[in-house]
Amino acid sequence: MSVLRAQHIIKTFQEGRETVNVLRGIDLTLERGEIVVLEGPSGSGKTTLLSILGCILTPTGGELEVDGRKIDPRRPELLPDVRKRSIGFVFQQYNLFPALTALENVEFALNIKGCRGPEAQQEAERVLRAVGLAERLRFLPRDMSGGQKQRVALARALSGHPPILLADEPTANLDSEVGGQILRIFHDLAKKEDRSLLIVTHDPRVRAFADRVLHISDGLLAN
Amino acid sequence: MVDLARKNLLHDKLRFLITVSGVAFAVALVFVQVGLFLGLMRNATITIERLGADLWVTSRNTPNVDFAHAFSESRVERVRSIPGVARADNLIVAFMNVNLPSGAEEGTLVYAMEDFGAWNFPWHVLEGDTEDLRRGNYVFIDESAAKRFGPFAVGDYREYLGTRLKIIGRTTEARSFTTTPLSFMDYQLAQRLLRSNTGSQTMYILVKLAPGADVEGVRAEMKQRLPYNDVYTSDEWATRSRNYWIVSTGLGFNLGLTVFLGCLVGVVVVALTLYTSTMEHLKEFGTVKAIGGSNRDIYGILARQALISSVVGFVLGAIPSLALRPLVSRLGGLELQITPLLMVWTFVGTVVLCLAAAMLSFRKVAAIDPALVFRG
């Protein structure tokens, strides 16, 4: 059963008088529990596609369905709600809140998703334990290693049980050993909790964890 | 709920200190300026309020209670004959020079009546009995005079317009707008001292109305019988006295300008520190949006930061201002009137202005593209 379905996605940007076609008709489906890797050179449209699939950007054309909901590009005000309910993000730069501890970073994300109080704290603790950070709950990001930060980011993405996880270069800032650990956690959690995972990466090690590898070039997909 | 606003503020302690210092500076400035203003205004009319007359008869166009002009004291008889008047007494308010034991000469504002007790005036007597004032060349002096006259005690003598008067009592809280010390003496003694100026003249007639008397009716009758005098209610007279000082001295404009500049400095400091903080946290706000937060969620964070800054800044500004009160009174002879109402209004103003300052950042946040979270 697909949790994400994109049909003939087109995205154009206006640069001065010039129209730039970044995505030129992308068809992509993500099944429940599936891990898909998206590769491509710089400027190929990877991040733009990730932004559209993550309901951060709206497509210029095409159809997008996320977790059973059809996305209407004319109503961008509805996108935050889709992100809140259905999508978890993991960023290359971790994007943690520096003033919040690991536990608070995850708990804050749950608060945004409408989960508050002791329930949010318990859920935050649960996902942090699941990514192996039981000993680092009260640590600030500045006191954690890159791998630990990425695990907090992963825990944050997992919190609230979104069916789709989108990761942008999650191993780019990590050494090969820590990167491998992170990918194993990604893989195990995706399979165990039946989450669908789309990873945008340049890292060839990621392929080993993927069910499917897609290649994007000049705004078009190739398997 | 994780308090990102508070945590972000306290995470950068130096910036937070700068923000709340800006607010505290503005709050302290408002408290000191407005407090001094209120203190001066209270001094300007405290005798009017404490005398508790229903009506004041003054000479034409007298600008305020301290600057009285003389008129015939016999007019009090005309006032007493008006139906509805329960009591009417003459009052002299006049500046006199006092020769001090040091050889220096100082000024005092003298209040002189025949029967102080009937008007419960002066209202706060520390030593002595005002009944004794009519028995000879005696005077009561307010304790605030010690700053200008030097230390004095009951039993001492001071020379008023060349006449030695014995101090037989001390009062407190009796002040004037100009901080000239107040003295109290018998009406006829004051007339004798001022003879060359006033003869058998008075400066004011204080009127107490009979219970149930129609104030406007009595006033209309009074105006008819005293065509060369003005008649004010106590409130009107106090307002007129206050307005004189506010308008004629430029005090109101000066105060308004200082308060405005203080608020402006506070708002600019808060707006700039919040704005630069927002700019530095743009990516974090982008992350809030990416994980499903709306502009409203981020506005809430910014507003809460402004609120925390305003509350902490208010407290930091209020504490030294309140602590300064005894010092201002002791050193400057001025009263810093920080009333509960002033505190409430200043607090509300501080919160509103800090929230307004945060709105500068709202626009920036509204324009954040959540896609920036993907940029390295």
Domain boundaries, chain A: 2-222
CA dist A104 and B2 (Å) reads 6
**Residues B86 and B104 sit within 8 Å (Cβ to Cβ):** no
CA dist B110 and B44 (Å) reads 14
Q: In chain A, positions 30-69, which contact chain B (CB-CB < 8 Å)?
A: 47, 50-51, 54, 56-57
Hey, what CATH topology would domain A2-222 get? Rossmann fold (3.40.50)
**Hey, are the CB atoms on A50 and B287 less than 8 Å from each other?**
no
Q: Which candidate, A72, A61, A74, A78, places its Cα nearest to that of A27? A: A61
Report percent pLDDT > 70 for chain A: 100
CA dist A3 and B320 (Å) reads 62
Q: A161 and chain B: CB distance < 8 Å anywhere?
A: no
**Hey, are the CB atoms on B374 and A116 less than 8 Å from each other?**
no
Average pLDDT of every residue of chain A: 90
Confidence of residue A143 (pLDDT cuts 50, 70, 90): very high
Kindly list the domain boundaries of chain B, sorted by start residue.
4-44+250-374, 61-227
Give the SS3 label for residue A32. coil
What is the predicted ipTM? 0.88
Handedness of CA A153, A158, A162, A163 (dihedral sign): positive
Per-residue pLDDT at B85: 96
CA angle, A156 then A162 then A164, to 5°: 105
Chain B residues within an 8 Å CB radius of A104: 2, 7
pLDDT in tens, B43-81: 889 999 999 999 999 999 999 999 999 999 999 999 999
Task: Point out the residues of chain B with pLDDT beneath 50.
Answer: none
CA dist B259 and A118 (Å) reads 46
Per-residue pLDDT at B198: 56
Give the SS3 label for residue B12. coil
CA dist B66 and B48 (Å) reads 10
**Hey, are the CB atoms on A54 and B290 less than 8 Å from each other?**
yes
Per-residue pLDDT at B199: 66
